[in-house]
């Protein structure tokens, strides 16, 4: 194949990936800074080149066919390789622009700040806008360039339960069980029953699941009552007031544990963890988004 036909094929694949990312031809055109007719023609030409329909277009939405999904996955790999090659040069240049990030409240308060300081030192020309919210954002149709999400994985769950695919895996945060003061505990079989109320981040029944670190025996922990909350900050505030045990991220209680204002309950048990993942909205991210994703990857691979 000569370089000219190959270039045209790559251009069409780039347009197709942008369309699939945005969920519409117009959205793909906006992301590439091209006109709708140009991007629409590129899609038609790619379908003609491959002799297969890649997407079903309606007046309201665009859905990929089975063949379209397969081509899209391969196109993303191609663009990722190109992005990596360009990143070697771009990382040596001064990057400017605006970057919009969304992530859960708890991560924004207790986990992200130290990384933002380092990132700003490396890229002072990038203006960061961080939106903290505990709802899952449909990234492809949002205003955000990057989403960082944390999905809970139970201690006895061996398979990787990933919310975002594909995503850059940033690692894990362990969950711990803490209380304002050491509760009295009695055992009934594999269930630990406390003399105080039990708090949970999410509604998962009337007990917290745990696995003993040495024997890997699964146990449950119950209190004489259950206070349900859907926000880590609320649960942590209640725990600080002495209302009971709570399953929280380790990063948010390290300071309290060191000051002995909170007590780690059953430290020999593992309460699961949160998988941290970063996802880019576009297959061809902006220079600030590319700089941030590459920066975060280096932080967790060193």
Query: Among residues 90, 119, 136, which one ends one of the domains?
Result: 90
Q: State the pLDDT confidence band at 59, using cuts at 50, 70 and 90.
A: low
Q: Are strands 245-249 and 168-179 parallel, antiparallel or unpaired?
A: antiparallel
φ, ψ at 142 (rounded to 5°): -105, 180
- Give yes or no: residues 276 and 164 share one domain: yes
Distance (Å, rounded) from C-alpha 253 to C-alpha 192?
22
User: Using omega within 30 degrees of 0 as the cis cutoff, is the peptide bond preceding 166 cis?
Assistant: yes
Query: Among residues 41, 65, 90, which one ends one of the domains?
Result: 90
Residue 202 lies in a domain: yes
- Give yes or no: residues 207 and 72 share one domain: no
User: Tell me, what CATH number does 295's domain have?
Assistant: 3.40.190.290
Supply 47's token pair: 């379908």
- Give yes or no: residues 52 and 180 share one domain: no
- Give yes or no: residues 21 and 158 share one domain: no
Residue 48 lies in a domain: yes
Nearest to 265 by CA among 174, 180, 153: 180
User: What would the mean pLDDT of 127-153 be, rounded to a whole number?
Assistant: 87
Distance (Å, rounded) from C-alpha 61 to C-alpha 43?
15
Q: Are 19 and 76 in contact (CB under 8 A)?
A: no
Q: What is the pLDDT of residues 252-261, one digit of tens each?
A: 888 888 898 8
User: What would the mean pLDDT of 38-42 be, rounded to a whole number?
Assistant: 88
Host domain of residue 241? 148-302
pLDDT at 171 over 90: no
Query: Among residues 48, 63, 90, which one ends one of the domains?
Result: 90
- Give yes or no: residues 79 and 162 share one domain: no
Supply 17's token pair: 């990936």
For residues 302 and 123, the model is more confident at 123
Indicate the DSSP class of residue 231: -
Mean pLDDT, rounded, of the chain: 82
Distance (Å, rounded) from C-alpha 78 to C-alpha 6?
13
Residue 122 lies in a domain: no
| Lowest-pLDDT choice from 3-12, 22-31, 57-66, 228-237 | 3-12
Q: Where are the alpha helices (DSSP H) in the chain?
A: 3-22, 25-32, 36-50, 66-90, 105-110, 113-122, 232-240, 254-258, 287-299
Q: What is the pLDDT of residue 36?
A: 86
Number of domains observed in the structure of the chain: 2
- Give yes or no: residues 79 and 200 share one domain: no
Indicate the DSSP class of residue 104: -
- Give yes or no: residues 189 and 284 share one domain: yes
Distance (Å, rounded) from C-alpha 40 to C-alpha 47?
11
């Amino acid at each position: 194949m000569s370089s000219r036909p190959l270039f045209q094929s790559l251009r069409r694949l780039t347009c197709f990936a942008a369309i699939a990312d945005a969920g519409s031809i117009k959205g793909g055109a906006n992301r590439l800074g091209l006109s709708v007719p140009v991007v629409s023609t590129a899609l038609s030409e790619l379908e003609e080149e491959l002799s297969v329909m890649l997407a079903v277009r309606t007046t309201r939405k665009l859905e990929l066919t089975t063949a379209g999904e397969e081509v899209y996955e391969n196109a993303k790999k191609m663009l990722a390789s190109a992005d990596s090659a360009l990143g070697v040069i771009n990382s040596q240049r001064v990057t400017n622009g605006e970057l919009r990030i969304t992530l859960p409240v708890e991560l924004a308060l207790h986990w992200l700040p130290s990384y933002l300081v380092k990132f700003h030192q490396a890229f002072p020309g990038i203006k960061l806008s961080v939106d903290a919210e505990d709802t899952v954002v449909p990234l492809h149709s949002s205003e955000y360039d990057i989403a960082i999400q944390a999905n809970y994985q139970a201690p006895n769950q061996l398979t990787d339960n990933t919310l975002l695919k594909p995503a850059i895996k940033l690692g894990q945060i362990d969950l711990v069980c803490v209380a304002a003061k050491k509760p009295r505990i009695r055992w009934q079989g594999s269930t630990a029953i406390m003399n105080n109320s039990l708090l949970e981040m999410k509604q998962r029944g009337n007990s917290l699941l745990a696995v003993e670190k040495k024997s890997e025996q699964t146990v449950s922990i119950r209190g004489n009552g259950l206070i349900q909350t859907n926000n880590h900050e609320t649960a942590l505030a209640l725990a600080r007031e002495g209302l009971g045990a709570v399953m929280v991220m380790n990063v948010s209680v390290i300071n309290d544990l060191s000051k002995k204002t909170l007590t780690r309950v059953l430290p020999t048990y593992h309460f699961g963890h949160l998988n941290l993942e970063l996802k880019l909205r576009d297959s061809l991210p902006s220079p600030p988004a590319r700089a941030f994703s590459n920066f975060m990857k280096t932080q967790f691979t060193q």
